[in-house]
Chain A
Amino acid sequence: MIRHLLKLVWRRKRANALLIVEIFFSFLVFFAVVTFGTSAIMRYNKPLNFDWHDVLVLNVSIPSERGLPPGERHGDNTADVAALDRLMKEIAAMPQVVAIGGSHTPPYSLSTMEGVWHMRGKRVRMTMDDVTDGYPKAMNISLLRGRWFKPEDDALGYTPVVVDSDLAKALFGDEDPIGQKFDEEGEHEQRVIGVMPPFRKNGEFTSEHINMVFRRLTLAEKSVRVPGSLLIRVRPGTPAAFEEAISRRTHEIFPNYEQRVRRMEAMRTFALRIYLTPVAVGSVIAAFLITMVALGLSGVLWQNVTRRTREIGLRRALGAAGNEVNRQILGEVALLATLALIIGVIVVAQLPLLGILTLVSPTSFTIGLVGALATIYGLTLLCGLYPSWLAGRVQPAQALHYE
Chain B
Amino acid sequence: MITLNNIDKVYRTERVETLALQNINLDIADGEFVSIMGPSGCGKSTLLNLIGLLDKPTKGKLLLDGTHINGAGDRSLAKMRNEKLGFVFQSFHLVPDLTVLDNVEIPLLYRKIAAGERKKLALAALDRVGLSSRVHHFPTQLSGGQQQRVAIARAIVGKPRIVLADEPTGNLDSAMGDEIMGILQELNEKDGTTVVMVTHDDRFAQQTGRTIRLFDGRQVA
User: B-contacting residues of A (Cβ < 8 Å)?
Assistant: 1, 3-4, 7-8, 11-12, 310-311, 314-324, 395-397, 400
Contact = CB atoms under 8 A, between A and B. Distances in A.
Nearest to A3: B115
Nearest to A12: B97
B25 interface: no
A306 to B, nearest CB: 16
Given A1-B109, A4-B109, A400-B93, A317 B54 contact: yes
B87 A318 contact: yes
Nearest to B89: A400
A317 B89 CA distance: 11
Q: Which of A1, A4, A321, A323 has the most CB of B within 10 A?
A: A321
B93 A314 contact: yes
Interface residues of B, number: 27
Interface of B: 49, 52, 54-55, 74-75, 78-79, 81-83, 87, 89, 93, 95, 97-98, 102, 105-107, 109-111, 115, 154, 158
Contacts of B98: 7-8, 11
Contacts of A319: 78-79, 81-83, 107, 110-111, 158
Contacts of B87: 317-318
Nearest to B82: A319
Given A316-B78, A317-B87, 6 more contacts: A4-B102, A317-B52, A319-B110, A322-B78, A323-B74, A397-B55
A367 B40 CA distance: 64
A311 B83 contact: no
Closest 4 CB pairs of A and B: A319-B82, A321-B78, A11-B97, A397-B55
A321 B52 contact: no
B74 A322 contact: yes
Main secondary structure of the interface of B (DSSP, over half): helix
Contacts of B74: 321-323
Nearest to B79: A319
A315 B168 CA distance: 18
B92 to A, nearest CB: 10
Nearest to B138: A11
Nearest to B158: A319
Contacts of B102: 4, 7
19 contacts: A7-B98, A11-B97, A11-B98, A12-B97, A316-B81, A318-B87, A318-B106, A318-B154, A319-B79, A319-B83, A319-B111, A319-B158, A321-B78, A321-B79, A323-B74, A324-B78, A395-B55, A396-B55, A397-B55
Contacts of A12: 97
Contacts of B49: 397
Nearest to B84: A319
A322 B76 CA distance: 11
A318 B55 contact: no
B110 A320 contact: yes
Contacts of B106: 314-315, 318
Contacts of B105: 4
A95 to B, nearest CB: 86
Given A317-B87, A320-B78, A321-B74, A400 B54 contact: yes
